[in-house]
Amino acid sequence: MAKNNPLIVIITAFLVLSLMFSLVKATSTNITTDQHALLALKDHITYDPTNRLAQNWSRSSSICNWIGITCGVHHHRVTVLNISYFGLAGTLPPQLGNLSFLQVLAIGNNSFSGSLPDELFFLGNLSSLRVVDLSYNQLSGTIPSSIFQISSLERLDLTSNMFDGQIPLTISKCQLQMLSLSYNIFTGHIPKEIGNLTMLKELYL
């Protein structure tokens, strides 16, 4: 009989807890949650020059067939939202924070405005994000410091918006490989915490 090695007990407890966490995440929300989140986004679009979302994001077809959307092969939940270069104007609704399996959020080269809702990156929401590309829009307000708590975040591209305020000191909490803050109106110092981003390969200020 194996002794109760404390390390094994801790590792087992950790594995059981992670499994429970992913089960809770998978069962408390479903594809209907994702549909509501995307329809909320559609409702917040004020200009859609080619009527792409108006025509294609239809309740009668599965969201996994909507233009700009990719779903996971196994769990059939939204993993990629890429509506870059659609020419859209509008704002980002807090409901986007309910896309629990989202890995890529790419809305570059549109005319999105307004601030990033706090709920978006709040405690565990969007906790699978790898890529956030908000470049070339008219987004404003401060960068929510919660975004840097997302440990999976690899790329954050905020190029050419109107973000202001200070660069959050929490910046070194994630494993960023690419960070662009170019062409915004940030103030204050470049935090020395940037030097602790050991995986960083590209930095644009």
Rounded-to-integer distance, Cα 53 and Cα 62, Å: 14
Residue facing ligand NAG at closest CB distance: 119
Stretch that binds ligand NAG, among 16-24, 70-78, 91-99, 179-187 (CB under 6 A): 91-99
Question: What DSSP line would sit under 99-147, residue for residue?
Answer: -TT--EEE--SSEEEEEPPGGGGSTTTTTT--EEE--SSEEEEPPPGGG
58 is a site residue for ligand NAG (CB under 6 A): yes
The H or E element containing residue 81 is strand 78-82
Stretch in the footprint of ligand NAG (CB under 6 A) among 10-18, 89-97, 138-146, 178-186? 89-97
Please identify which residue in 44, 91, 119, 178 interacts with ligand NAG, judged by CB under 6 A. Answer: 119
Q: Does 79 bind ligand NAG (CB under 6 A)?
A: no
The reply on whether position 22 binds ligand NAG by CB under 6 A is: no
**Alpha helices per DSSP H over the chain:** 6-28, 31-43, 52-56
Structure tokens at 37: 């989140």
Show the binding pattern over residues 173-202: x = contacts ligand NAG (CB under 6 A), - = does not. Answer: -------------------xx--x------
What is the length of the chain?
205
Alpha-carbon distances of 158 from 15, 82, 144, 182, 187, rounded to whole Å: 35, 15, 12, 7, 15
Give the position of tokens 């405690």.
123
Our CB check for ligand NAG shows the closer of 122 and 186 to be 122
Where do contacts with ligand NAG occur on this chain (CB under 6 A)?
30-33, 36-37, 40, 55-56, 58, 61, 65, 67, 82, 84-85, 94-95, 97-98, 104, 106, 109, 119, 122-125, 131, 133, 136, 172, 192-193, 196
